[in-house]
Structure 1
Amino acid sequence: MIFVSSDKHIFSFGPDLEPVAYAKPGDIICFETLDCFAGQLTSEIQSIANIDLTRANPATGPVFIEGAEPGDTLKIEILDIRVSKTGVVVALPGFGLLGDKLRDERIRICRIEDGFVYCTVKDSSRPVKIRLPYKPMVGVIGVAYSKKVPSTIPGVHGGNMDTKLITRGTAVYLPVFKEGGLLAVGDVHAVMADGEMCATGCEVSGEVVVRVDVIKGCSVQWPIIEAEDAIYIIVSKESLEEAFYEASNAAARAISCSLSLEFEDAYMIAGLIVDLQVSQVVNVVKTVRARIPKEFASITQILEALNNR
C-alpha cells in the first residue's frame, strides 16, 4: 500500500501540480487527510475570525497514476474511510443557505465512536444531546485541471463535490486532463446531509483508502459515481437550474445510448426512471446528481455515452 501523509497537500487543482507520490493501475493508496479547516479548530470557544480560511479544504496529494493521459478516465474505488475521534460543525454568519439569519457564530465539537456521531448543542436553559448515524464520506476528490481551480470549488475535474455517495464501496470516475491524472483527496465528513445547508458537515481528519485504475481512450464528460444499484452523473454549475439541466441532458443521452433509443424516447424514459438529487447548494458552484438504476444502463454504456473523445 502507498501511504501519502497529510502534510503533503494542495489548495487548488491546476495545471502546474507536482506529484508527491507515484502509483500504478491496481495499486492501493492511503490518503491521510486533514479536516476542512486544516486542524485549526479544536475548541468551541475559539473564534473563526482567528483562523486562516485560505487554508480551507486541503487535499492530500497529488498522486501521479502511471499510464493516465489526457483523454483517459481515472477509476477510484473507495475501499475504506477511517476518521478521527472528534469532528467539528460550524455555523457562521454569511455562510450557508441561512447565513443571513445568524446573529453569531457557533462551533460544536462532536464525538465519534461505536458507529455514531454525538453532538451536544446548548440553548438558553439546557444542553441537548443528539446522536447521529456515522456515515463517513469524502467531500473533495479531484485531478489536475487545465486551469487553476481552488480546492473549495467543484467542477468537471471533481474537486469539492460534497456528495455523500462518495463513501466506502463506491467508485468515482474522473476525466484526465494532465499526464498522470494527479489525484488528490480531502475534506472527509463523519456525516453530512444532502445540500450541506449550513456549509459544513461533521468535519474530520482521517484516512481514505482507494484502489486506482485507468480506463484508456475514454474521457468522461462529468464525474461519475458507481454504487451497488445505480450510477450517478455528478454535475456542478453556478446555478441549480443550469446543473439540473446538464445532468438531465447527460442522463437522457446515457439512456439513449444504453437502450438504443432516439433522444425523444430516451427523454421520456428518463422522466420515469432518473432521479434528480442535490449534493450541495452552499458553494458558489452548486452540485447535483442524476441517478440511473443499473438495470437500465451499465457503467460501460454510460462511460461510452459521456465520452468526450
Structure 2
Amino acid sequence: MSPFNEPIAKVEDGETFKIETRSPGIPDEVFEKDYSDGNYPQRILSITGPVYIEGAQSGDLLEVSIDKIDLKSQGKMWMGQWMGILMDEVTKPYLKKVNVENGRVFFNEKISFPVKPMIGTIGVAPLEEIDCLRQGNHGGNMDVLSLAPGSKVYLPVSVEGALLAVGDVHAAMGEGEVLGTGIEIGSVVTLTVNVIKAKSIKHPLIETKDSYEIVVSNEDLVEACKEATRSMIGFIREKLNITFDEAYALTGQCAHLRICQVVNPLCTVRFEISKEILKI
C-alpha cells in the first residue's frame, strides 16, 4: 500500500460500491517443485485498489462498512517451507483446492464446514509505501475474523482521498491463520464509506453488532498484547470516564484478547469488549 498508487476509481463520501477481489494468483506448478535449495517462492497478496474517497483528508477517520461478500465457487489453501507457523517442520509444499457452494466449504467427500467470509487485507495508504503483507495503523494484512459482513472498520487517514485497498478474501479461516493461508478465494465485496472529519485513532478499530475490537500488530506477540491492553484501557476510560485502575480491572474481567494471525511479518491481536459493558 502506497500514497503514490494511482486510484482505480473515485467514490463519494457516504457512497456504497462494489469492488472485485481476485482469486489467488499463485500457479499450481509452485507446489510441484523441490525447494531443498532454500530458494522459496515470493509471497504475494492480490489486492484491489486503491479507491479514492472524496473529502477524506489527513487527520480524518474513514469508516468502512462491510455490507456483503459474494464468493466465487472455488478456493485454495496451501502451505510450504516458506510460510505457516510450522514451516520448519513442513517437508514439501501442499496445495488443496476446495469447492464453495450453498454456504459450505467442501474439504473432501466426508468433511464440509460452514462458509464464514471475511476480508484478510483492508487498509488505507500510509505516509510511506508498505508491503501489502504487512499491517499497521493503516490496516493492511490484519486477518481479523470479524472483518466480515455486518461489521465496520475505522481507519486513520494519512493522505488525501484515503486510498482504500481491499483483498485477500477468505471463505473461512481459523483464528491465528497458523497454516499461513485461509481459504483464499475471489469475491465481490460491497462496501459503504463515510468520512468522519477531524478525528483520528492510533490503531484500527472494528465495530460489530455487539462489540468493539482494537487491532494491534507488532513483530513481538507479547508486545502486541501489551499495546492492545493499553489501548483497550484508554478506550474504556474515554467511554466510561473512569480511572486507570478501574479501566484496567474492567479490561481484565470483561474484555477478551484474541490472536488474529502469527504468520505474517508482524503478529496481530485484537482486544474485544461488549457494547453492553460500555452502555452503548
Q: TM-score range by the shorter chain?
A: over 0.9
2:27 alignment partner in structure 1: 41
Measured in 2, the distance between the counterparts of 1:173 and 1:218 equals 11
User: Which letter does structure 2 place at the counterpart of 1:236?
Assistant: S
Q: Deviations over 1:238-272 (max 9, x none)?
A: 11111111110000011111111111221111111
Provide the residue aligned with 1:134 in structure 2.
Answer: 115
Does the 8 A contact of 2:30 with 2:41 survive in 1? Answer: no
State how far apart, in whole Å, the 1-side matches of 2:34 and 2:22 are: 17
Equivalent in 154, 162, 177 of residue 158 of structure 2: 177
- Structure 1 position 31 matched with structure 2 position 19: yes
CA distance in 2, matches of 1:164, 1:265: 29
**Post-superposition CA distance 1:151-183 (Å, at most 9, x none):** 111111000001111011100110000001000
Normalization by structure 1: what TM-score?
0.85
1:103: Cα distance to partner? 1.3
Residue 59 (structure 1) aligns with: 47
Q: What's 1:256 paired with?
A: 237
- For 2:98 and 2:175, the matched residues in 1 are separated by 19
Distance change >3 Å, CA 92–CA 69, structure 1 → 2: same
2:276 aligned counterpart, secondary structure: coil
Equivalent residues in 2 for 1:152-231, closer than 5 Å: 152-231=133-212
CA–CA distance in structure 2, aligned partners of residues 16 and 45 of structure 1:
34
Q: CA deviation at 1:297?
A: 2.8
Shift of 1:45: 6.8
- 8 Å CA contact 1:44, 1:106 repeated in 2: no
Partners of 1:82 and 1:298 in 2: how far apart?
34
Any idea what the Cα deviations from partners look like across 1:10-59, whole Å, max 9, x if unmatched? xxx12212211111111112110113x32x335897559799636x1121
Q: Which of 99, 102, 106 is the matching residue for 1:111?
A: 99
Aligned counterparts of 2:76 and 2:136: Cα–Cα separation in 1: 26
Going from structure 1 to structure 2, the CA distance change for 1:86 and 1:41 (only over 3 Å counts) comes to farther
- Residue 296 of structure 1: how far off its partner (Å): 2.7
Distance in 1 between the 2:98 and 2:30 partners? Answer: 10
Q: How does 1:77-116 map to 2 (within 5 A)?
A: 77-116=65-104
Q: Is the 8 A contact 1:254 1:297 kept in 2?
A: no
| 94 and 46 in structure 1: CA distance in 2 versus 1, 3 angstrom threshold | closer
- Tell me how far apart the structure 1 counterparts of residues 34 and 243 of structure 2 sit (CA, whole Å): 53
SS across alignment from 2:106: strand
Query: Which one of 191, 214, 217 corresponds to residue 233 of structure 1?
Result: 214
Q: Specify the code of the residue in structure 2 equivalent to 1:31.
A: I
In the alignment, residue 118 of structure 1 is paired with which amino acid? Answer: F
Separation in structure 1 between the aligned mates of residue 52 and residue 153 of structure 2, nearest angstrom: 17
Aligned residue for 2:179, secondary structure, equals coil
| 8 A contact 2:214–2:228 mirrored in 1 | yes
Q: Which runs of 4+ in 1 moved over 4 A?
A: 42-52
Cα shift readout 1:167-204 (whole Å, capped 9, x = no counterpart):
11100110000001000100000000100001000110
Are positions 1:148 and 2:135 aligned together? no
- Identity in percent: 38
CA distance in 2 between partners of 1:65 and 1:258 (Å): 29
Q: Is the 8 A contact 2:34 2:92 kept in 1?
A: no
Q: TM-score, normalised by structure 2?
A: 0.94
For residue 94 of structure 1, report the CA deviation from its aligned partner: 3.4
Partner of 2:225: 244
Count residues with an aligned counterpart: 277
